[in-house]
Amino acid sequence: MKTTQIRTTEDGSASAAPDEGGGEPSCAADAAASRSAADGAAADEGDPSAASRTLRRTHHDAPDTAADFAALAELPEDCPERRRLQDCVVTAWLPMAHRLARKFRNRGESLEDLEQVAALALVKSVERYDPARGNAFETFAIPTIYGELKRHFRDNMWEIHVPRRVQDLRNRVRASLRELELTSSGRSPTVAELAAHSGLSEEDTLTGMEALQCFNSLSLDAPVAAESGGGDGGDGAICLMDTLSSDEGGYDHVVDREAVRSCLCRLPEREQRLLYLRFFRELTQSQIARRLGVSQMHVSRLLAAACRRVREEIEEREDEDSSTHPPRAAA
């Protein structure tokens, strides 16, 4: 394997040299040598930018890649050397991206996926960063990475639709909860304490606390502990569905409505309006026809086609669920 040593001379400059095995200096070595040489020259000429770059590095994982970005700015878009140098810069800043991703752990998403999102955002930041604007790369990249991580949660992790107001309550309650836990020796704060600290009413505080559980929905097939019998469940284990009353038809209505909701969103706008007028406004086909300026027969055909599409999609989804989670054998 080819390795490279970074040698420091008496004047403080750095140079890259291959080891005894020979070979060209590595990409990281090139970057380190060029950064050291550039900073040394700037310091000799009294350039204050070198000192400012050092002051801006507030974390141990914030490398000085100013010389690399300056070189990237001079390279054309289709130059192979540009891609190689971009890869070097991304690798150097990857620990920072992973650090930012870890701030979002334990929220229902795996750390590996969060790090992947942060890494992709880092690549975008490296490609878009313009050193001529005068901002440090860290200042530019951190908001971009945070924005991609938050967008990932907003687009993928809310399994139950939560209104924006409730999401805001959840964020305020969570922030207060963390702050109070740090000052209360590990004791969980009461609802009244959370409300006073966050400036919310107790009712809004309870709403925010309930929203904390909305990142992951609980499957009706999830096993629950039996009130009596074997301690570990065994053959007598029951699922959440078994605890629901079969006499309560409202549950079935909610399940059916949620199953249809996502299918309706994928229908063309005209078919969505037809179904809305027919089943939510409860208009007759003749009334719908007069409102839309078409014949009653045409409305009938459109409604039948829309209902068929929704039904087929739900049946396909149920077939997929049954193949993934086969029914339990009867005891």
Fold of 254-324: Arc Repressor Mutant, subunit A (1.10.10)
Could you tell me where the DSSP H helices lie in the chain? 27-44, 48-56, 66-74, 80-102, 111-128, 137-156, 164-183, 191-198, 202-211, 249-265, 269-275, 285-292, 296-324
CATH topology of domain 57-156: Four Helix Bundle (Hemerythrin (Met), subunit A) (1.20.120)
- Domain ranges for the chain, please list them: 57-156, 164-211, 254-324
Lowest mean pLDDT among 87-91, 94-98, 184-188, 326-330: 326-330
| pLDDT score, position 265 | 74
Q: What is the pLDDT of residue 212?
A: 74
Q: Give the mean pLDDT of the chain.
A: 72
* pLDDT, average across residues 284-292: 87
| 16-30, 169-183, 230-244, 289-303: the lowest-pLDDT one | 16-30
What count of Cα atoms within 13 Å lies in the side-chain half-sphere of residue 7? Answer: 9
Query: Is it the case that residue 143 has pLDDT exceeding 70?
Result: yes
Between 2 and 274, residue with greater pLDDT: 274
Average pLDDT over residues 49-72: 67
pLDDT digits (tens, 9 = 90+) for 215-227: 656 666 767 665 4
pLDDT at 218: 62
Contacts of 70 (CB under 8 A, 6+ apart): 38, 131
Distances (CA, A) of 9 to 20, 34, 36, 66, 279: 19, 14, 11, 22, 81
* Residue 255 clears pLDDT 80, i.e. is over it: no
Whether CATH 1.10.10.10 fits 164-211: yes
Residue that wins the pLDDT comparison between 242 and 123: 123
Q: Regarding predicted confidence, which is higher, 27 or 201?
A: 201
On the question of a common fold for 57-156 and 254-324, the answer reads no
User: Residue 147 burial by CB count (10 A; 0-12/13-18/19+): exposed, middle or buried?
Assistant: exposed
Which residue is it, tokens 């994928």?
266
Those residues whose C-beta lies under 8 Å from the C-beta of residue 206, and which sit 6 or more positions away, are: 191
- Where does residue 48 rank: exposed (0-12), middle (13-18), buried (19+ CB within 10 A)? exposed
Backbone Cα Rg of the chain: 30
Question: What is the share, in percent, of the chain residues with pLDDT greater than 70?
Answer: 60
* Strand pairing category for 4-8 and 14-18: antiparallel
DSSP for 186-239, written as a single string: TPPPPHHHHHHHHT--HHHHHHHHHHTTTTSPPPTT-EE--SSS-TT-GGG-EE
The whole-angstrom separation of Cα 256 and Cα 39 is 66
More confident residue, 112 or 52: 112
Is residue 51 over pLDDT 90? no
Higher pLDDT, 290 or 24: 290
Residue 141 pLDDT exceeds 80:
yes
User: Quick one: pLDDT band at residue 313, thresholds 50, 70, 90?
Assistant: confident
The pLDDT of residue 19 is 43
